Amino acid sequence: MCDYWGISRTTVRQALLRLDQRGLIERRKGFGTFVHRTATGVWLMQSSEGFFQDEVDRLGRTVTSQILRAEAGKLPEWACEALGMPLGASGATLERLRSVDGDIALYVVNHVPKFAAEAALAMGDPNESLYRRLSQREGLDAGGGRRSVQAVAVDDRIAGHLQMEPGAPVALIESVTWDEKLRPFDCYRAWLRTDRIRIDVDVSVGVAKVPVGGQARSAASRSGGRSRAARRPAATSTRSFLAAQRGDHTDRNDLPEA
């Protein structure tokens, strides 16, 4: 590989280590490195392409969706707060089941404000990426966002959607995404089967900005303005979903996401 690509052994080792960490290859001492024939899907949490869309595109996995509800109306209280809108504000709600290679992996409910509602509700193809449609129709591109991840036990209704036993552990993901002008344009709650999709978080260092009252605020100002806090990991390290057996965990990420 070094000779073929003209790279160093260190680069090759680093690349193989990352593939191994993602479960895409298996390294057997004394035998070599082998590609897994089947691999657990990956949702890169800070991706701006939505439901692990970049990993799906790269690995050639098939994502299909079933729209359970698509309607305009008043948004729930938590969505209004997440989108920075008055309580009782109107918008659009999109409720979907999403599958990977035929296996149900995610139940998700998106809420978008009124200015993005028409584009969201006009999705003709249920398998289309919501964020790509909003970008093409409304010029809304993800400029930043925040997600929290928590291990929860599913209730009877969601268990039925995900084809699980009531009380089984899943990852509950809450998200809000804003555009390059720091205007929130989508929020959602998603219940993810992590036995079918693994959550990955890439860690980088930088100053993250979030919208506060229409103004950008850096990580430094959120930490009381201390200069050392201005440069911090934009995402905390990934923890195994085995945390579902130990208790809840929240992991926040301020990079572009959807």
What does the H/E/C string look like for 141-185?
CEEEEEEEEEEEECCHHHHHHHCCCCCCEEEEEEEEEEECCCCEE
* Domains of the chain, residue spans: 1-39, 40-245
- pTM of the entire predicted model: 0.64
pLDDT tens-digit map of 92-122: 999 999 998 889 999 999 999 999 999 999 8
Which of 85, 140, 92 lies closest to 118, judged by CA?
A: 92
pLDDT, tens only, 115-156: 999 999 987 788 888 888 888 888 888 888 888 899 999 999
| Helix H or strand E segment including 113 | strand 103-113
Residues 6+ apart with CB under 8 A from 68: 95, 96, 97, 161
Fold of 40-245: Chorismate lyase (3.40.1410)
Fold for the domain defined by 1-39: Arc Repressor Mutant, subunit A (1.10.10)
- For residue 207, pLDDT over 60 is answered with no
